[in-house]
Amino acid sequence: MSKLTSLEIWQKLVSDKNRLLNNNVGNLFESEENRIDNYKLDVDGIYLDYSKNIIDRETFFDLMQLAKQLNLNDKIEAMFRGEKINFTEDRSVLHVALRDQSSDQLIVDGKDIKPDILNVLARMKDFSTRIIDGRLLGQTGKSIKNIVNIGIGGSDLGPLMTTQALENYANKHISVRFVSNIDLNALTNNIEDLDPAETLFIVSSKTFTTDETMTNADSAKSWIVSSLGQTAVDKHFVAVSTNREAVVAFGINPDNMFEFWDFVGGRYSLCSAIGLSLMIAIGPDNFSQMLEGFNSIDTHFRKAPLEKNIPVILALLSIWYINFWNVSTEAVIPYNENLRLLPLYLQQLMMESNGKSIDFTGNPVDYNTESVIWGSQGTNSQHAYFQLFHQGTRLIPVDFIGYINSDFDNDTIHQKKLLANMLAQSRALAFGNKLDTQNVFESMPGNRPSNVLLFDRLSPRTLGQLIAIYEHKTFVEGVIWQINSFDQYGVNLGKDIAKNIYSDLSSNNKTDIAYDQSTVELIRRIILKK
């Protein structure tokens, strides 16, 4: 048994689960007077209701004990202080520094990192304001009106998801698009209706070596050069990266580069210059509001007691289900159409961070780590897969995310119906209906856990809060599971093999292929085109 699973408190949680197996959410409400008062939180305009979980006071206490025994508070402090908690890459983890807009010092490796952060933020503001005002001109003197972000993973999903989420805050005269897939459809679909003279590409890549991004950037460069000439690259390309050398080698003027740093992980980089396309879409003031929302949760996470800490509670509930109830998937269902990409964003955040099976000591874990995170917007999801939530054989905890106010001032009907659906689903999952032996097919067992996160309205600030909640939830899970949430070695092998296969496919090399039989046959068919 590992050190974690042999902890007395871990074993206590195993017995909590066995005790609660014979109980259910309905009974828990009946037996605990004013249960709601014990399982809700109000934090800076956010209401969290976690009462419909299969937990009681004893379990809640034990989960908190687990976090305390694993020194969660010290670990949180270590991150905020800039200690090199990403120990496999010997890096600090300081995405939180990006949203602290104060000039308070933060010393890393003997240097205050805040001036550089604020300087890049100021350059981003100046640049996006020039675009929004129509002052940034392309090669032919026309104003830039189209922004195409080329990037993938953390250099795409953050700005893509948030630009869509904040569509109602966007400058309508600017079109902001995202190209990520190496499939040529992605680039073509996004640029075929654009005038190159009015188009700016933002090549976003932390490493500036990612094949998808560099291939798309090369093709975008050819598109610009073929219509505007070689000298147009200067006016139609900017870069966001940590790798100045590679940016220059690509042909982008270093004056047109927005820098970020190794202490910002790709999937945590939205608040760095990776957010440039979002800033252009919604304007610097809204971007700043978003940073403030992030910062409000950063402060809450760092300062609030564990028992009243939203990310901590959400993380421990996931641990409860994943490690003690054998849950393998969790759903996140935002009840706002513009948040439809949130589950996709959270997939990278949580699954790339915590999809690990080697612990801090280099030993394999003997417990489960991250579940499969998935979902899509309500109410659509209700008409697709909620049947399985309600009557399927698996336990799938759900996070419902809702907004009290509509995005539209004149909306008197839609938002109430939307919210009614969200509340109805959470209630039906928890309490089901009375078992009717006459019609067993219609019986709903209930006892299916969910959380409800309720915000005032979807705004830059509340979006920042929401993302920060999940970032810190991911951090807490990593601490409990004793894994490094901040590397991603698991993606490398596939990248390396793809490089080799690409060179075989390009050289039509069918004879000398050192792969397994399956891969060899697939390569052969592709080369022979049959």
289: contact with ligand F6P by CB under 6 A: no
**Is there a contact between 205 and 173 (Cβ–Cβ < 8 Å)?**
no
**Known active-site residue 383:** yes
Site string for ligand F6P, 110-149 (x = CB under 6 A): ----------------------------------------
Nearer to ligand F6P by Cβ, of 424 and 491: the residue is 491
> Judged by CB under 6 A, which of 53, 149, 162, 205 binds ligand F6P?
205
> Angle of helix 310-319 relative to helix 460-481, nearest 10 degrees?
50
Q: Is the dihedral of CA 496, 498, 504, 506 positive or negative?
A: negative
Closest CA to 312 of 44, 15, 70: 70
Query: What residues contact residue 217 under an 8 Å CB cut-off, 6+ apart?
Result: 150, 201, 203, 237, 250
Asked if the bond preceding 231 is cis, omega within 30° of 0, the reply is no
Residue 155: both structure tokens together: 């250099």
Question: What is the 8-class DSSP label of residue 135?
Answer: -
Residue 374's SS3 state is strand
152: contact with ligand F6P by CB under 6 A: yes
Nearer to ligand F6P by Cβ, of 278 and 327: the residue is 278
Nearer to ligand F6P by Cβ, of 136 and 501: the residue is 501
Candidates 134-142, 202-210, 316-324, 472-480 — which segment interacts with ligand F6P by CB under 6 A? Answer: 202-210
402: contact with ligand F6P by CB under 6 A: no
> Judged by CB under 6 A, which of 51, 92, 155, 371 binds ligand F6P?
155
491: contact with ligand F6P by CB under 6 A: yes
* Centroid of chain to Cα 275: 13
Query: What residues contact residue 159 under an 8 Å CB cut-off, 6+ apart?
Result: 149, 151, 178, 204, 270, 274, 275, 276, 277, 278
| Interacting positions 344-363 with ligand F6P (CB under 6 A) | 352
Measured from the CB of residue 475, what is the shortest distance to ligand F6P in angstroms?
Answer: 16
210: contact with ligand F6P by CB under 6 A: yes
Closest CA to 338 of 268, 408, 267: 408
206: contact with ligand F6P by CB under 6 A: yes
Nearer to ligand F6P by Cβ, of 149 and 381: the residue is 149
488: contact with ligand F6P by CB under 6 A: yes
Residue 373: strand pairing partners: 330
**Known active-site residue 495:** yes
Candidates 37-45, 80-88, 150-158, 371-379 — which segment interacts with ligand F6P by CB under 6 A? Answer: 150-158
| Interacting positions 229-288 with ligand F6P (CB under 6 A) | 266-267
Q: Which of 173, 383, 434, 530 is catalytic?
A: 383
Nearer to ligand F6P by Cβ, of 62 and 156: the residue is 156
Candidates 170-178, 201-209, 230-238, 421-429 — which segment interacts with ligand F6P by CB under 6 A? Answer: 201-209
Nearer to ligand F6P by Cβ, of 105 and 207: the residue is 207
Query: What residues contact residue 450 under an 8 Å CB cut-off, 6+ apart?
Result: 52, 53, 397, 398, 399, 400, 425, 426, 429, 430
Query: What residues contact residue 504 under an 8 Å CB cut-off, 6+ apart?
Result: 513, 523
86: contact with ligand F6P by CB under 6 A: no
- Categorise residue 423: left if φ over 0, alpha if ψ from -120 to 50, beta otherwise: alpha
Measured from the CB of residue 204, what is the shortest distance to ligand F6P in angstroms?
Answer: 7
The H or E element containing residue 112 is strand 111-112
Measured from the CB of residue 207, what is the shortest distance to ligand F6P in angstroms?
Answer: 3
Query: Annotated catalytic sites, by residue?
Result: 352, 383, 495
